[in-house]
Amino acid sequence: MKNIEELSKELGYSVFSMEEAGAIILDGYTSDLLSDVMGNASEDCALITIQAHKNTVAVASLIGIRAIILCNGRTPASDMVEAAAREKIALLGTEENQFTVSFRLAQALGKV
């Protein structure tokens, strides 16, 4: 089991917000359709996506997602960073694409 701080350091991702560094991540979910995230993602996972806007945080909070990893160098709007801090959801970013992040996160979590 790894927490958000350990994962962000291990994977080398930048941090836009991390209010609860010790929150444990159990799984990952990769999707760019928020309706799909709402229907299928599970709590305590990290969401891997390119949707860099505050609705992503609202959906994540609804489900209990603990971290959002923005791919392809997408940078969050300031209201997304504020919402993430308020909802205590970690907001990370990387130049890597969703495929690479999914693989590396799965590896870090011991799933592959």
Partner 1 sequence: MSRICIDLHNHSCLSPCGSDHLLPAILAVEAADCGIDILALTDHNSCRNLPAFAEACEIVGITGVFGLEVTTLEEIHVLTLFEKLEDALAFGSWIESILPKVPNAARLFGNQLICDVSGTVIGESELFLYGPAEITFDDLIYKTIGAGGLGIPAHIDRPANSVTANLGFLPDLPYSAVESIAIPPIVDTRLYPVTQGSDAHYIEHIGRRRCFIESEVTGFSALRDAFVHSKITYLGHSSEHF
Q: Which residues bind partner 1 (CB under 8 A)?
A: 33-35, 38-39, 51-53, 55, 58, 61-62, 87
Q: Which one, 8 or 31, has the nearer CB to partner 1?
A: 31
Contact 50, 30 (CB under 8 A): no
| Least separation in angstroms between CB 53 and partner 1 | 5
| Least separation in angstroms between CB 39 and partner 1 | 8
Please name the residue ranges forming H helices in the chain: 4-11, 34-40, 54-63, 78-86, 98-108
| Least separation in angstroms between CB 28 and partner 1 | 21
Could you tell me the sign of the dihedral formed by the alpha carbons of 63, 67, 73, 79, in that order?
positive
Q: Which one, 50 or 106, has the nearer CB to partner 1?
A: 50
Buried b (16+ CB within 10 A) or exposed e, 22-61: ebebeebbbbeebeebeeebeeebbbbbebbebebbbbbe
Q: Which one, 7 or 48, has the nearer CB to partner 1?
A: 48
| Least separation in angstroms between CB 107 and partner 1 | 29
Q: Which one, 72 or 100, has the nearer CB to partner 1?
A: 72
